[in-house]
Amino acid sequence: MCGIIGVTGGAQVTELLLAGLARLEYRGYDSAGVVLEDGERLWRARAATGTRSLEDLAKLVEDAPARPEAGVGHTRWATHGRPTDANAHPHLDCTGRVAVVHNGIVENCRELAAALADGGHTLVSDTDTEVIAHLVEDELGAGAELAGAVRAVVRRLRGSFAVGIVRAEEPGTIVAARRVSPLVVALGDGPEREGLLASDIPAILGRTRTFWTLADDQVVTLRPGSVEVTDVDGVSVAPRSLHVDWDLEAAEKGGFDDFMSKEMHEQPQAVRDTLLGRTLADGTLAVDELRLDPAVLDQVDKVFIVACGSSFHAGLVAKHALERWLHIPVEIDIASEFRYRDPVLDQRTLVVGVSQSGETVDTLQAMRHASSEGAPVLVISNVVDSSMAREADGVLYTRAGPEIGVAATKTHLAQIAALELLGLALAQQRGSLSPDQLADLLAQLGRTPELIDDVLGRDEAVAAVARRFTDVRDFFFLGRHVGYPVAMEGALKLKEIAYVRAEAYPAGELKHGPIALVEPGTVVVGVATRNRLWEKMLSNVAEVRSRGATVVLVADDGDGETAAEADHVLWVPPAHELLSPLVDVVPLQQFAYHLARAHHLDVDRPRNLAKTVTVE
Ligand code: F6R
């Protein structure tokens, strides 16, 4: 998740930029850069040295102009293009007189870049951001001043963005704009009243506690002591002001108590960003780096998914969707087991590794094994240029942004979305779904962020249910069909952050043994939204109820029949059955979260666990 910052005015532009970037560090980054404007020209420094980038940038800045009037800075978390110097922000136009920092995704960057190249521009990076600098250049060439040029460009961009732009010809001015991606602006409280902008409050919290936020497509011109906001047509508007009394740590968590809660709330955006711009006008999928011949994909007659933990659960959801949409077998294996048996693989088996970190050694080794057997390998990862991304034949990045809480939440949802998108793209290529079916499924997938948002708004209701079970040390989780991996994920969350035993079963399996454990007082959490096995699921629930279990069910809004089988209901808005895990897993994350909080546990750093597992 990139972070942007801008400072205009005062004697400490460079220092404030660097200090602000350091405060955006917690968002994660792989490269960093600044542009300083000194009244005559723009001076740029960039470093793409991973978590050392800020240190290295500080060294480069020792050669910067002594007294810049304004500057913009950026910490980059790669989404388009590898983390290299050339891809690090700020990006310049052809003249080197306009510089842009950007957080977000320009969905139509490919078509804009093609048009710019036809118009004689030379683009030198692989980023979506660079097009913005060149588009601004064109508008300035037609006589606009910077704010007018940015308004014109905003109209042409699709996707999400928060941008900060400086121009050598307009010293002391920063123009910024946003759509969806976060942006705050402010004036320093000191006598210099420097103009400030940032992705996030912590970056500039030391200078003031009063901020303004912009609505979508508003454009702000910042100068020392002055903040002018207009809508995209140039009509002045009053920005919304915000006063915060958080300390720095609370500000990094965006006002949430912990990163896990913040990241759960980022889930709608994570899914939205993962879907954004991926389906091209001809309906095909824009894979970030597909080093596979499409003819290879045409021949695929089996898919094999390998992953661990929450990523494995995302893969299990995808198995249902891909088999339905592609009519070919989809196998899934725990990555740590895969290469120690003899999986049957050949060049017609597409092996899909799923890993938020892209570094999990079990999954990496499983992928290597598949490659050595001649199978084409694709990875779904959240980290650009991770080991898996470098080694696989193709990469589809989830764009959840860095996840700091150890328990996977937003990366898990983004993985499900990416896998389903992959399934739809393959279905299109192979003609296994009709154009109408594809369009309908894509539209329904596109609506899932709203449904997730809706569930997040019901957090207090889930917390109230969770608090009733603070003394329980043993839970059963049940589900059927896609509800089963959801139940597994709910149980895993409970184990890892609340340290409570939780076993997940496909509900039909109960009668083959586990039901012997059910007695009065046993707590059973079931996923009972209306998938194709819903009726059978309710019968299984009736079996445990009749043995005295206390039952908590995830159910579709208004489903009285399901509610009649439950002691407590976690309501969710209904979704297409194959997409429903994106929605149904959210109350189970919340349930685990609130139980862990009730036990006063550190949800962000559960014991014995690491965010990236690089040992076997
Ligand atoms: C659970 C969790 C782990 C990971 C697993 C795989 O909340 O985070 O189960 O899902 O360790 O990690 P990645 O996806 O990085 O390969």
* pLDDT tens digits for range 473-514: 999 999 999 999 999 999 999 999 999 999 999 999 999 999
The domain in which residue 133 lies consists of 3-250
Report the alpha-carbon distance of residue 293 to residue 345 in Å, rounded: 18
Confidence of residue 328 (pLDDT cuts 50, 70, 90): very high
Is residue 109 a contact partner of residue 119, using CB atoms and an 8 Å limit? no
Cβ neighbors of 31 (< 8 A, separation 6 or more) are 46, 47, 48, 49, 50, 53, 75, 76, 78, 83, 84, 85, 87, 88
Average pLDDT over every residue of 67-89: 90
Domain membership flag for residue 604: no
- In this structure, the answer to whether residues 355 and 501 fall within a common structural domain is no
Average pLDDT over every residue of 395-424: 92
- In this structure, the answer to whether residues 156 and 236 fall within a common structural domain is yes
Atom of ligand 1 nearest to the CA of 357: 15
Domain membership flag for residue 271: yes
Report the alpha-carbon distance of residue 232 to residue 293 in Å, rounded: 43
The CATH number of residue 8's host domain is 3.60.20.10
Range of weakest confidence among 108-117, 400-409, 525-534 = 400-409
Q: List phi, psi (to 5°) of 47.
A: -140, 130
Atom of ligand 1 nearest to the CA of 356: 14
* Sequence letter at residue 352: V
- In this structure, the answer to whether residues 91 and 153 fall within a common structural domain is yes
Q: DSSP label at 25?
A: G
Q: What percent of the chain has pLDDT over 90?
A: 78
- pLDDT value at position 253? 83
Atom of ligand 1 nearest to the CA of 411: 14
- pLDDT value at position 280? 60
Atom of ligand 1 nearest to the CA of 612: 15
Confidence of residue 293 (pLDDT cuts 50, 70, 90): confident
Pairing of strands 210-213, 184-187: antiparallel
288 CA distance to ligand 1 middle (Å)? 22
Half-sphere exposure for 434 (CA within 13 Å, toward CB): 3
Dihedral angle computed from the Cα positions of residues 536, 537, 542 and 548, in that order, rounded to the nearest 10 degrees: 150
Domain membership flag for residue 610: no
- In this structure, the answer to whether residues 396 and 266 fall within a common structural domain is yes
Average pLDDT over every residue of 57-68: 93
Domain membership flag for residue 385: yes
Is the predicted pLDDT of residue 185 greater than 70, yes or no?
yes
Domain count, the chain: 3
- In this structure, the answer to whether residues 387 and 267 fall within a common structural domain is yes
* pLDDT tens digits for range 562-608: 999 999 999 999 999 999 999 999 999 999 999 999 999 999 988 88
- In this structure, the answer to whether residues 512 and 589 fall within a common structural domain is yes
- In this structure, the answer to whether residues 172 and 279 fall within a common structural domain is no
- In this structure, the answer to whether residues 189 and 50 fall within a common structural domain is yes
* pLDDT tens digits for range 122-167: 999 999 999 999 999 999 999 999 999 999 999 999 988 999 999 9
Q: Atom 3 in ligand 1: which residue has the minimum CA distance?
A: 309
Cβ neighbors of 45 (< 8 A, separation 6 or more) are 33, 34, 57, 60, 61, 63, 64
Number of helices (H) and strands (E) in the chain: give both, helices first. Answer: 20, 25
Confidence of residue 289 (pLDDT cuts 50, 70, 90): low
Hey, which of 613, 615, 616 would you mutate to test ligand 1's pocket, going by the most ligand atoms within 8 Å of its Cβ? 613
Average pLDDT over every residue of 300-315: 97
310 CA distance to ligand 1 middle (Å)? 5
Angle between helices 267-275 and 410-430 (to 10 degrees): 30
- In this structure, the answer to whether residues 434 and 288 fall within a common structural domain is yes
- pLDDT value at position 254? 79
Q: Atom 16 in ligand 1: which residue has the minimum CA distance?
A: 355
Nearest to residue 198, comparing CAs of 24, 437, 444?
24
Hey, which of 311, 336, 367, 379 would you mutate to test ligand 1's pocket, going by the most ligand atoms within 8 Å of its Cβ? 311
- Any idea which residues carry the catalytic annotation? 2, 611
- In this structure, the answer to whether residues 56 and 118 fall within a common structural domain is yes
Instruction: Tell me, rounded to whole angstroms, the distance of Cα 419 from its chain centroid.
Output: 14
Q: Decide which of 455, 472, 490 is a domain's last residue.
A: 455
Q: Decide which of 399, 425, 455 is a domain's last residue.
A: 455
Atom of ligand 1 nearest to the CA of 363: 16
Query: Taking all residues of the chain, what is their mean pLDDT, rounded to a whole number?
Result: 92
Ligand 1 pocket at CB < 6 A: 308-311, 355-357, 360, 363, 407-408, 492, 496, 613
- Between 229 and 26, the more confident residue is 229
360 CA distance to ligand 1 middle (Å)? 8
Instruction: Tell me, rounded to whole angstroms, the distance of Cα 450 from its chain centroid.
Output: 15
Hey, which of 356, 410, 495 would you mutate to test ligand 1's pocket, going by the most ligand atoms within 8 Å of its Cβ? 356
* pLDDT tens digits for range 6-57: 999 999 999 999 999 988 877 778 899 999 999 999 999 999 988 888 999 9
Is residue 99 a contact partner of residue 133, using CB atoms and an 8 Å limit? yes
Q: Decide which of 400, 426, 455 is a domain's last residue.
A: 455
Q: Atom 4 in ligand 1: which residue has the minimum CA distance?
A: 309
Domain membership flag for residue 566: yes
Q: Where does residue 266 rank: exposed (0-12), middle (13-18), buried (19+ CB within 10 A)?
A: buried
- pLDDT value at position 287? 66
612 CA distance to ligand 1 middle (Å)? 7
Output 428-434 pairs: Cβ under 8 A, ≥24 positions apart. 428/283, 428/284, 428/285, 429/284, 429/294, 429/297, 429/298, 430/298, 430/326, 432/325, 432/326, 432/327, 433/325
Domain membership flag for residue 605: no
407 CA distance to ligand 1 middle (Å)? 7
- In this structure, the answer to whether residues 297 and 240 fall within a common structural domain is no
226 CA distance to ligand 1 middle (Å)? 47
Average pLDDT over every residue of 109-124: 96
50 CA distance to ligand 1 middle (Å)? 22
Q: What secondary structure does DSSP assign to 348-401, as a single string? A: TEEEEEEESSS--HHHHHHHHHHHHTT--EEEEESSTT-HHHHHSSEEEE----
Domain membership flag for residue 584: yes
- In this structure, the answer to whether residues 158 and 43 fall within a common structural domain is yes
- pLDDT value at position 614? 64
* pLDDT tens digits for range 504-535: 999 999 999 999 999 999 999 999 999 999 99
Q: Say how many residues make up the chain.
A: 616
Domain membership flag for residue 314: yes
- pLDDT value at position 288? 65
The CATH number of residue 568's host domain is 3.40.50.10490
- pLDDT value at position 616? 64
Average pLDDT over every residue of 100-123: 94
